[in-house]
């Protein structure tokens, strides 16, 4: 796989994550090789798009046979930075935060929750699976000590900006924001992704309406 310097759009990266899910599913079926046409069927994309996406990173199949599934999983994982386990902390140990920590696919994707933080004294010291909940006022000390780069945010709207502004950007490089506050894609040199379940339902509602027109 070549060291590719061209700027790759987020759309391409999102497709790579879909390919990875498809490959892991097919691997469970006991298959060892897969053609782009098979990935196409499972992901609902043209084979030419899939081949082009992979070729951007110097990843090519075997002519007439397709791609070695194990090797392709390994290479896509490396492209996405999943070849090494990344430690993650959660801020906001409510119902949503608890559900996210318990979601097994996150750990399977090489992300490891090593701590959760909250300002509710009744929660501090308790565990969510193997993850301990700490007081929010210890967040930056913990981040520095454990070199945490990724934070998941599931806090009330009123607390969102204050917490984001307080995070030590010398260590934190990415925030996955599950609050309803729309944060900019980059703030204080930290990359931010906004995840709003209500928004996704609104988009789905429009798509359903459009299909009936």
Q: Do 178 and 93 fall within a single domain?
A: yes
Q: Do 93 and 173 fall within a single domain?
A: yes
In a domain? residue 123: yes
Q: Tell me which of 79, 102, 136 is where a domain ends.
A: 79
The answer to whether residues 139 and 91 touch, using CB atoms and an 8 Å cutoff, is yes
pLDDT tier, 89 (very low <50, low <70, confident <90, very high otherwise): very high
In a domain? residue 107: yes
Q: Do 92 and 72 fall within a single domain?
A: no
Range of the domain at 157: 86-199
Distance CA 120, CA 38 (A): 49
Q: For the purposes of burial, counting CB atoms within 10 Å of the CB of 12, is it exposed (0-12), middle (13-18) or buried (19 or more)?
A: middle
Q: Do 90 and 194 fall within a single domain?
A: yes
Tens-digit pLDDT profile for residues 12-23:
999 999 999 999
- Domain tally for the chain? 2
In a domain? residue 3: no
pLDDT tier, 6 (very low <50, low <70, confident <90, very high otherwise): low
Q: Do 95 and 69 fall within a single domain?
A: no
């Amino acid at each position: 796989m070549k060291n590719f310097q061209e700027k790759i759009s987020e759309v391409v990266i999102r497709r790579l994550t879909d390919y990875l899910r498809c490959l892991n599913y097919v691997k469970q079926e006991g298959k060892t090789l897969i053609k782009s046409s098979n990935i196409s069927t499972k992901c609902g994309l043209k084979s030419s798009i899939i081949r082009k996406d992979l070729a951007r990173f110097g990843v090519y199949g075997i002519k007439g046979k397709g791609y070695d599934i194990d090797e392709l999983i390994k290479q896509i994982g490396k492209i996405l930075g999943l070849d090494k386990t990344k430690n993650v902390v959660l801020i906001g140990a409510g119902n949503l935060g608890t559900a996210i920590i318990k979601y097994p696919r996150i750990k399977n994707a090489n992300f490891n929750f090593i701590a959760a933080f909250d300002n509710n004294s009744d929660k501090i010291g308790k565990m969510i699976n193997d993850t301990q909940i700490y007081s929010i006022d210890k967040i930056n000390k913990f981040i520095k000590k454990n070199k945490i780069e990724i934070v998941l945010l599931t806090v009330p709207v009123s607390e969102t900006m204050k917490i984001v502004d307080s995070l030590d950007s010398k260590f934190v490089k990415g925030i996955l924001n599950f609050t309803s506050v729309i944060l900019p894609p980059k703030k204080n040199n930290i990359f931010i992704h906004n995840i709003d379940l209500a928004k996704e339902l609104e988009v789905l509602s429009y798509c359903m309406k459009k299909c009936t027109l």
